[in-house]
Amino acid sequence: MMTETMQLESFQLSLCDIVDVDLENLHALSLSVRWPHRTKDWQMLRENGHGIVARDAIGRVFASAMWFPYAPDFATLGMVITSPRLQTHGAARWLMNHAMRQIGTRPLRLNATHAARRLYQSLGFKIEKTVYQRQGTVIPYVAPDVPHDAVLRDVTPAHLADLVKLDHQAFGARRTALFTHLLSVSKGMALLRDGEIAAFSLSRQFGRGTLIGPVVAADDRDAIAVIHPLIAAHVGQFLRIDTRQDTGAFADFLAQSGLPVFDTVTSMSLGGDWLDASPTQALKTYALVTQALS
């Protein structure tokens, strides 16, 4: 039972578990800061993580924070939102301090907005890399041919174990529960060599339209091969992809497909340099599941 409270101007905020909050109130919170999350997106996040919110006596939600534990020694933080009214009153720090006490000593990764980066640095988080939020209305663009030694296949639930294995190599943690959920709501492509999956991409409804992610591949050529069918299927429609690739063939292909950089966030970590821990690893994450889930 959470009993912490905070006095703000003429009313008092109290903390509660995010599962006890109506989805419409969470949606109203994200709308207040112009984030695109639908109620369905909030529901998906609640099903795959934990969180707290700050609300007033009549149930209005003014702040939130979530965390997603993938292993005993690793978690991501996300959906840290404070309504505009609270942003100069220390509510974000109050909420983060409480969330981090619940998480304990588990190493963390998050993606920080420009406004929140200084707060996270003051809490000990280190800057690692930039995430480029690319989005727009897809235009037709011809991608290079699929590598001659590979074939493309639709992703099915039967590929769960293979996708979790590849994601583990690229991401650094085994996310079986998350991928079980993703495969129930996503379409995807897998690139196979000698009958084994070497790269994959997933896409699903999110925010204003469709989001591509995650994408895991060894190089730009394979990454382009697995996302091209998904992009081509959305010509004339809104599409989003969050990637850390800012140059090279993959970034160029996104730009030529009508997906310019819309915004950026900063990947930060506490307790380990997660993104550079294995610079020689064969696979890397070309697109995030979401900024909260990384």
77-91, 135-149, 174-188 — most confident range: 174-188
Average pLDDT over residues 51-61: 91
pLDDT at 111 over 80: yes
User: Would you say residue 223 has pLDDT above 70?
Assistant: yes
Q: How confident is the model at residue 11 (pLDDT cuts 50, 70, 90)?
A: low
The per-residue pLDDT for 8 is 60
C-alpha–C-alpha distance, residues 48 and 272, integer Å:
23
Cis peptide before 214 (omega within 30 of 0): yes
**Is the per-residue pLDDT at 1 higher than 60?**
no
Are the CB atoms for 215 and 245 separated by under 8 Å? no
Give the pLDDT confidence of 70-79 residue by residue, as tens digits: 988 899 999 9
State pTM to two decimals.
0.92
φ/ψ of residue 88, rounded to 5: -110, 15
Q: How many other CB atoms are found less than 10 A from the CB of residue 212?
A: 29
Of residues 47, 57, 58, the one with CA closest to residue 18: 47
Burial class (CB in 10 A: 0-12, 13-18, 19+), 22: exposed
The per-residue pLDDT for 277 is: 46
**Dist. CA 95–CA 220, nearest whole Å:** 39
Question: What DSSP designation does 253 have?
Answer: H
Domains annotated on the chain, with CATH: 5-106 (3.40.630.30), 133-287 (3.40.630.30)
Distance CA 9, CA 62 (A): 13
Least confident span in 28-32, 190-194, 241-245, 281-285: 281-285
Asked which of 1-15, 165-179, 232-246 is least confident by mean pLDDT, the reply is 1-15
Q: What percent of the chain has pLDDT over 90?
A: 78
Average pLDDT, the chain: 92
Q: Say what the pLDDT of residue 87 is.
A: 67
Please say if the pLDDT value at position 18 is more than 60.
yes
pLDDT for 133 equals 98
Q: Chain centroid to CA 205: how far?
A: 14
| pLDDT single digits (tens) 246-293 | 999 999 999 999 999 999 999 999 987 766 544 446 899 999 999 999
At residue 6, the pLDDT reads: 61
Residue 231 has pLDDT above 60, yes or no: yes
Main-chain phi, psi angles of 225, to 5 degrees: -60, -40
Q: Residues 294, 288: contact at Cβ < 8 Å?
A: yes
CA dihedral 17, 24, 78, 229 (to 10 degrees): 140
What DSSP line would sit under 166-197, residue for residue?
A: HHHHHHSS--HHHHHHHHHH-EEEEEEETTEE
Helix (H) or strand (E) holding 117: helix 117-122
Please report which helix (H) or strand (E) contains residue 40, including its range: helix 39-47
* Nearest alpha carbon to residue 170 among 134, 222, 247, 107: 222
Which position has the higher pLDDT, 104 or 192? 192
